[in-house]
Amino acid sequence: MVRAIMHGCNGKMGQVITGLAQDDEGIAIVAGVDQYTEQKNDYPVFKSLAQCDVEADVVIDFSNAAAVDALISDCVAKKIPVVLCTTGLTEAQLEKAAAAAKEVAVLKSANMSLGINLLLKLVKEATKVLVPAGFDTEIVEKHHRLKVDAPSGTALALADSINEELNNEYAYNYDRSQVREPRKKEEIGISAVRGGTIVGEHEVIYAGPDEVIEFKHTAYSKTVFAKGAVEAAKFLAGKAPGRYGMEDVI
Ligand SMILES: NC(=O)C1=CN([C@@H]2O[C@H](COP(=O)(O)OP(=O)(O)OC[C@H]3O[C@@H](n4cnc5c(N)ncnc54)[C@H](OP(=O)(O)O)[C@@H]3O)[C@@H](O)[C@H]2O)C=CC1
Ligand SMILES: O=C(O)C1=N[C@H](C(=O)O)C[C@H](O)C1
């Protein structure tokens, strides 16, 4: 059985994963880390990973970007693999995660669902055919009103996947309100909608001459992300240092 520490254990995703792990004989949450350590879990909760004295095989992280620097340092110090799911990381944090992967196994993914991980591949095929034929690419993401980062990590991952097929020559446009000019060809538009309890929707729109093709993924519950994170943790426990992704798990 894989022993996991849940970083951000009292948050929305932390609690869904805690529930899922209770019914899974392949994984046990042996400790948690959160800002407030009041006891609502059947495992001990610490204020930081550094303070956690419980032995574990892997850390699962769903917290917030401000917590990730310390998390990465603590994982390296303790030599524990980490499944990094928090979004909204800075360039410096992404570089820190890449450097940490030389010391421990790091699996970073903005979206743990099967559907989005398939879509990341499908958009490459679509881009290859459609962009040279004159199609423009726009991404629209929708999330619940409590989400603090925008655009979503998934929207950025989709844009990166598309841009790789375009030799990374396209710029991302998040806001057209400040200029009065036609859309540039070499850009990918990314728009964010926030409201209510929307779990997560991502649309990739290819708009061409007289025709439009749209790919859409809708998450109906946080369980799709939680299941992916649990499988990723089982996969990562015991792995050699290096960078891993959900494509290695699925
Ligand atoms: N990769 C994926 O598939 C998915 C990624 N996410 C991402 O995961 C992250 C968390 O999402 P969600 O659970 O909805 O958010 P929540 O805000 O509900 O949960 C985050 C938890 O982390 C806690 N936290 C804050 N600072 C620290 C710290 N220094 N150490 C440990 N814990 C801390 C928060 O405490 P407090 O409330 O007191 O601040 C809160 O309990 C977000 O970045 C989100 O975008 C979400 C879903 C899927
Ligand atoms: O904050 C969320 O809820 C989600 N965040 C992730 C992201 O930023 O892409 C993944 C998912 O869509 C839910």
User: How much is the average pLDDT of 130-157?
Assistant: 98
**CA 199 / ligand 1 centre spacing (Å):** 14
How does residue 38 score in pLDDT terms, banded at 50, 70 and 90?
confident
Its pTM stands at 0.97
- Contact in structure between 6 and 20 (CB atoms under 8 Å): no
Atom of ligand 1 nearest to the CA of 116: 3
Per-residue pLDDT at 121: 97
Whether the predicted pLDDT of 37 surpasses 90: no
The percentage of residues in the chain with a pLDDT greater than 90, rounded to a whole number, is 98
Closest C-alpha to ligand 2, atom 11: 200
How are beta strands 27-33 and 2-7 bridged, if at all? parallel
Per-residue pLDDT at 78: 97
Per-residue pLDDT at 183: 97
Question: Could you state, in order of their start, the residue ranges of all structural domains in the chain?
Answer: 2-112+223-249, 114-219
User: How much is the average pLDDT of 104-115?
Assistant: 98
Class of CATH domain 2-112+223-249? alpha beta
Q: pLDDT, tens digit, for every residue of 163-190?
A: 999 999 999 999 999 999 999 999 999 9
Is residue 202 part of the annotated active site? The answer reads no
Per-residue pLDDT at 36: 86
Residue 133, phi then psi, degrees to nearest 5: -85, 10
Write out the two tokens for 70: 């310390």
Q: Is CATH 3.30.360.10 the right assignment for the domain spanning 114-219?
A: yes
Whether the predicted pLDDT of 92 surpasses 80: yes
Is residue 147 part of the annotated active site? The answer reads yes
Write out the two tokens for 217: 């993924």
Whether residue 88 has its Cβ less than 6 Å from ligand 1: yes
Whether residue 110 has its Cβ less than 6 Å from ligand 1: yes
Instruction: Report CA torsion sign: 20, 23, 28, 30.
Output: positive
Alpha carbon distances (Å) from 80 to 96, 109, 130, 160:
15, 17, 43, 28
Query: Could you tell me if the ipTM is greater than 0.95?
Result: yes
Per-residue pLDDT at 130: 98
Measured at the CA of 58, the angle between CA 53 and CA 59, to 5 degrees, comes to 75
- Contact in structure between 51 and 74 (CB atoms under 8 Å): no
- SS3 sequence of the chain: CEEEEEECCCCHHHHHHHHHHHCCCCEEEEEEECCCCCCCCCCCEECCCCCCCCCCCEEEECCCHHHHHHHHHHHHHHCCCEEECCCCCCHHHHHHHHHHCCCCEEEECCCCCHHHHHHHHHHHHHHHHHCCCCCEEEEEEEECCCCCCCCCHHHHHHHHHHHHCCCCCCEEECCCCCCCCCCCCCEEEEEEEECCCCCEEEEEEEEECCEEEEEEEEECCCHHHHHHHHHHHHHHCCCCCEEECHHHHC
How does residue 103 score in pLDDT terms, banded at 50, 70 and 90?
very high
Mean confidence (pLDDT) of the chain:
97
Whether the predicted pLDDT of 66 surpasses 80: yes
Residue type, 213: I
